[in-house]
Copies of this chain bind each other. A is one copy, B any other.
Amino acid sequence: MTADIDARLAELGIELPSPPKPVASYVPFVVTGNLVHVSGQVPMGKDGLEFVGKLGQDFDVETGQAAARLCALNIIAQLKTAADGNLDRISRIMRLGGFVNCTADFKAQPLVINGASDLMMDVFGEVGRHARAAVGTNSLPGNVAVEIDAIAELA
């Protein structure tokens, strides 16, 4: 029994963003065999970058979680394109790689990246249970608060 992910998104009141175009010389995802590698997604909203700043200085954990959630929405939007519009073809979110732009004394990276992980669980259920790394960094592209990449399996 496969969940109808689009219905689940609607149920959660989530409208997927347009999948962001890369800002550079690469592609937003690559499908090889049944693997999808999704490029690092930043908190790109309808009107441009959101959540520009650093945890431990400009943003609290809760705001960081909202940034991570927006990254994850963009990952799901990319996966939808990778799966020819059918998110039910995603058979597993394998891994998220989360980078948190922060000060040297900030240490709640896992809580921040939960903003993305929780969304994956909410949207995909069991299929969304993923491995993960969450680390800090002194700087991210455009000074955004969070960047997250992903590996998924296509059925």
Given the known inter-chain contacts A139-B105, A140-B107, please indicate yes or no for A117 contacting B26, CB distance below 8 A: yes
Given the known inter-chain contacts A25-B117, A92-B32, please indicate yes or no for A107 contacting B143, CB distance below 8 A: yes
The reply to whether B103 and A32 contact each other, CB–CB distance below 8 Å, is no
Chain A residue total in the interface (Cβ 8 A): 61
Given B29, B97, B113, B141, which contacts A24 in the complex, CB threshold below 8 Å?
A: B113
Chain B residues whose C-beta falls within 8 Å of the C-beta of A140 in the assembled complex: 107, 109, 135-136
Given contacts A32-B92, A32-B153, A135-B140, 9 further A-B contacts (CB under 8 A): A24-B113, A25-B118, A32-B91, A33-B153, A35-B94, A37-B94, A109-B141, A136-B139, A136-B140
User: CA of A121 to CA of B129 in the docked complex: distance in angstroms?
Assistant: 30
**A131: interface (CB < 8 Å):** yes
**A99: interface (CB < 8 Å):** yes
Chain B residues whose C-beta falls within 8 Å of the C-beta of A22 in the assembled complex: 132
Chain B residues whose C-beta falls within 8 Å of the C-beta of A114 in the assembled complex: 24-25
The reply to whether B133 and A40 contact each other, CB–CB distance below 8 Å, is yes
The reply to whether B94 and A131 contact each other, CB–CB distance below 8 Å, is no
